Amino acid sequence: MSNKPAVLVTRKLPPAVEARLARDYDPHLNTQDRLYSTDELLTLAQGAQAVLATHTEHLSADVMARLAGTIKVIANFSVGVDHCDLAAAKQHDIIVTNTPDVLADATAELTMLLLLGAARRASEGERLIRARKWDSWSPTFMLGTQFTGKRLGIIGMGRIGQVVAKRARGFGMEIHYHNRSRLDSEREAGAIYHDSLDSLLPQSQFLALHCPNTPDTQNLFNAERIAQLPDDAIVVNSARGNIVDEDALIVALRSGKIRAAGLDVYKDEPFIRPEFAELNNTFLLPHLGSATHETRDAMGFRALDNLDAVFAGREPRDRVA
């Protein structure tokens, strides 16, 4: 019997991450990459001292209570921890960690793809090509919205929002942002701070959502906020689906109040509202924000660094509970 700590790994991870797990731990790997039910997860966790989880597991207060006594740490393969009941984890002395810092570049790249894809009707154009329905060019064919030199509003100027701002400056965009607190001048880098959404939204010809999913931000982007945007604004979300009131967004896309939307996250993913797929003015991706080889390896190694610290008796770098 192995004397290494036993770790339940809830999803299939990159090969390099699983190799390090096998070297340093006694892992139960999810080789089929199935989404475990809660009962399966709890059964598989029996005998383990740690869980290496992702945002696809719902670790509720009840789950935390049933993991208590055996599970010492939940190391998340994600930055967001809205899938974990952190208060319950603290109550049951379960350490919870996440993987910040390492996915800002990848998610910012994806945000730029969403902005450009939505603005230039990329999804619509690709469908036309794949269906072999493009039959001519004309001066008024499939006109999109120019990105260069426009005003970009960013809600949530954390690590990812700051990288998005940096990339957007390369397109000559004027950056406006709202954050819980104003950044220092070095990190602000000329961006214009707004102390309220009421001030930010009317300036946002393009809008990127980068705030975390919390009780305060659920349905933050609703009909009232949409009405404050300039007509024909373009909106993208690569943060969390719960930030957006999807009914209100669909209404605004149908009416043309919002010219286009680029979405990588959804309220009930992997289920996506059929209305989004039916609309021509949507650019849709399946939660690919951090999906690069480099970033997913880095996320796994960061999660393992946190496990290493816990089992060595040290405080993990990225503890959130």
What's the pTM? 0.95
Quickly count: other Cβ atoms within 10 Å of residue 205's Cβ: 22
Assess whether 269 carries a catalytic annotation.
Answer: yes
- Domain 6-102+293-311 sits in CATH at 3.40.50.720
Assess whether 186 carries a catalytic annotation.
Answer: no
Residues in the chain: 321
pLDDT of residue 1: 58
From the list 121, 176, 240, 296, the catalytic residue is 240
Work out whether the CA dihedral 186, 148, 193, 179 comes out positive or negative.
negative
Q: Show Cβ contacts of residue 64 under 8 Å, excluding neighbours closer than 6 positions.
A: 84, 85, 88, 89, 91, 92, 94
From the list 120, 178, 210, 287, the catalytic residue is 287
In the structure encoding, which two tokens stand for residue 82, read together? 């809205």
Q: How many Å apart are CA 212 and CA 158, to the nearest integer?
A: 10
- Evaluate whether 6-102+293-311 and 104-284 have a shared fold: yes
Residue corresponding to tokens 């610290």: 309
From the list 269, 273, 317, 319, the catalytic residue is 269
Q: Show Cβ contacts of residue 267 under 8 Å, excluding neighbours closer than 6 positions.
A: 241, 242, 244, 246
In the structure encoding, which two tokens stand for residue 29, read together? 């790997």
Assess whether 287 carries a catalytic annotation.
Answer: yes
Q: How many Å apart are CA 194 and CA 203, to the nearest integer?
A: 10
Identify which of 267, 158, 263 has the alpha carbon closest to the alpha carbon of residue 212.
158
Instruction: Tell me which architecture the domain covering 104-284 has in CATH.
Output: 3-Layer(aba) Sandwich (3.40)
pLDDT in tens, the chain (321 residues): 579 999 999 999 999 999 999 999 999 999 999 999 999 999 999 999 999 999 999 999 999 999 999 999 999 999 999 999 999 999 999 999 999 999 999 999 999 999 999 999 999 999 999 999 999 999 999 999 999 999 999 999 999 999 999 999 999 999 999 999 999 999 999 999 999 999 999 999 999 999 999 999 999 999 999 999 999 999 999 999 999 999 999 999 999 999 999 999 999 999 999 999 999 999 999 999 999 999 999 999 999 999 999 999 999 999 999
Domain boundaries, the chain: 6-102+293-311, 104-284
pLDDT of residue 2: 75
